[in-house]
Structure 1
């Protein structure tokens, strides 16, 4: 199984995935952003874009990387923290994984607007991030449309990441 942690930048995906991994025996964390970083390193460079997800190779490479890692670790879930706000991109990833018969538990870590802005502004590791702020409205639009209908939504506004991780682990174990 793949446990996909979606949600906007600053919702707690990376932190939650780090806390979730020890709670799910045999699990591994794969950040699909690393696939994008590989594409960003191509020289002299792919066409200019504001987000590597717009590059056509990114989505099938995420699917193929996830499939290969999932098969390699054999057994435990693969935890993937990655924001995907474009419905067509999510459908492509989801269909690719389904073609390999890999079940996906799609969860959205949601945080209310004021709390999100505060988290981005006061992030101790990254500091204020123009990139993260640029996706606040895109997340709100996706959340009001397809995203919250498509996934299990966990409100992280006032819940510590450790508790969110425990909730997810309990739900995933209950499905086994």
Structure 2
């Protein structure tokens, strides 16, 4: 089974994916963003746009996920956290995997615009850059996320991007539990206390930092 976790940039996709992974034995995270970063590293800065517009990204994501889903040595689901707002891109990746015979469950995380902006401001990358550089301006990745927020919220509300999960009043663990309840696997108990949970989420945020 593939669990594709969609949603606007900053809504909590990666955090939810890691929460699912740590509480679902045998699961694995396959982040489609890594394919995009690889393609960006091959391109000069002037040619770097949204890597999802590259046919090579969509084909690469399809092939890698197909390989992982058909491979052996894994008992749990494959988890892919990735913003996907264009119907054509959705068809070339998620729908193709379904046509290939894979059980793909798609979820879109939502929250109010102001809530997502706050989460973007608080997540590890924004905090780390400000601490190191002493600057108040948002880093480039956060600026891109903010610039795309309204179009993400509009397009992801469409029925083809269901199942929708409102994260406005639930935390990361709650979002993971909603997904697990929808697809069937039983999550291991959440033994994190408040401090340990914050430290774990900070660690996930720091691991999302990319230096080009």
TM over 0.5: yes
The 8 Å contact of residues 60 and 96 in structure 1, kept in 2 or not, is answered as no
1:171 Cα deviation after fit = 2.0
DSSP 3-state at the match of 2:181: helix
User: For the Cα contact (< 8 Å) 1:24–1:169, is it kept in 2?
Assistant: no
Correspondence for 2:201: none
Q: Tell me: CA distance 1:94–1:149, structure 2 relative to 1, closer, same or farther (3 Å).
A: closer
> Which residue does the alignment assign to 1:54?
53
Residue matched to 1:120: 120
Q: Determine helix, strand or coil for the equivalent of 1:57.
A: helix
Deviating 4+ runs (over 4 angstroms): none
Cα deviation digits, residues 3-55 of structure 1 (max 9, x gap)? 00000111100000000013222110011000101111225x59824210011
CA distance in 1 between counterparts of 2:77 and 2:151 reads 29
5+ long unaligned stretches in structure 2:
128-137, 187-212
State TM-score, norm by structure 2: 0.74
Residue aligned with 1:41, SS: helix
Give the whole-Å Cα distance in 2 for the aligned partners of 1:41 and 1:55. Answer: 14
Query: What do the CA deviations read for 1:75-102 (whole angstroms, capped 9, x no partner)?
Result: 4210000000111101111232123211
Contact 2:108–2:156, Cα closer than 8 Å, also in 1: no
Contact kept in structure 2, 1:40 and 1:52, CA below 8 Å? yes
Structure 1 residue 141 corresponds to structure 2 residue 140: no
Query: Relative to structure 2, which stretch is displaced further, 55-64 or 21-30?
Result: 21-30
* RMSD value, Cα: 2.1
Equivalenced residues, count: 172
Match of 2:167 among 139, 148, 156: 156
1:90 aligns with 90
TM-score of the aligned structures, taking structure 1 as reference length: 0.88
Q: Which runs of 5+ in 1 are unaligned?
A: none
Structure showing greater radius of gyration is 2
* 1:5 aligned residue: 5
CA contact (8 A) 1:18 1:29 kept: yes
Kindly provide the CA deviation profile for residues 94-132 of structure 1, in whole angstroms up to 9, marking residues without a partner as x. 232123211110000101111111111232433441011
